[in-house]
């Protein structure tokens, strides 16, 4: 196994571990308490009224879980996922495709990171303090993040399929 493959496994398993820690810890707590999906997992975009409804449903405990547990983990997860995707892209795709998908993966990771900041602003302002512009920014970042990641995962899937077919030949 090459050093790049080892690095890919290391980053991939670390990202998976952080994802599971978020999903089974604060995300589950927040979604169970509010009965709604967290902002980061919503697609398509959400409106100001939907954001207000979610913010009203947050208890003090859920708000603390969001800001003090979920977001610090997510601040590490976002770049870690981006790095993992880039490593996978370069492992399974030709250079001409890898360059473009590296840019798309970086865009997704950047939007993921900025989304965390925007959502923290929404939570800190509360349901009566938010405005349409901030909601649009947060929701837009979430949407671009999901589209970027979907494109990269699709590219990796195609690359892995080609890689398997070439190995059989």
List, for residues 53-66, the tens digit of each pLDDT value: 999 999 999 999 99
C-alpha–C-alpha distance, residues 150 and 56, integer Å: 31
Domain locations in the chain as residue ranges = 3-168
The stretch 76-97 carries a mean pLDDT of 96
C-alpha–C-alpha distance, residues 92 and 155, integer Å: 9
Whether the pLDDT of residue 142 is over 90: the answer is yes
What is residue 29's predicted lDDT score, i.e. its pLDDT?
97
C-alpha–C-alpha distance, residues 146 and 104, integer Å: 11
Predicted structure pTM score: 0.93
35: exposed, middle or buried (Cβ count in 10 Å: 0-12, 13-18, 19+) = exposed
Using only C-alpha atoms, the chain has a radius of gyration, in whole angstroms, of 18
Whether the pLDDT of residue 25 is over 90: the answer is yes
């Amino acid at each position: 196994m090459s050093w790049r493959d080892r690095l890919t496994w290391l980053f991939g398993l670390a990202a998976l571990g952080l994802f599971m820690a978020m999903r089974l810890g604060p995300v589950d707590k927040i979604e169970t308490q509010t009965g709604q999906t967290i902002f980061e997992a919503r697609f398509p975009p959400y409106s100001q009224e939907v954001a207000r409804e979610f913010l009203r449903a947050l208890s003090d405990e859920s708000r603390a879980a969001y800001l003090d547990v979920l977001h610090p983990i997510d601040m590490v997860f976002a770049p870690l996922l981006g790095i993992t995707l880039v490593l996978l892209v370069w492992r399974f795709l030709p250079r001409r495709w890898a360059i473009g998908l590296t840019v798309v993966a970086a865009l997704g990771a950047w939007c993921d990171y900025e989304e965390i900041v925007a959502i923290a602003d929404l939570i800190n302002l509360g349901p009566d303090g938010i405005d349409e512009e901030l909601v649009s920014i947060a929701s837009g970042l979430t949407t671009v993040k999901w589209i970027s990641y979907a494109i990269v995962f699709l590219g990796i899937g195609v690359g892995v399929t080609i890689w398997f077919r070439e190995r059989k030949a």
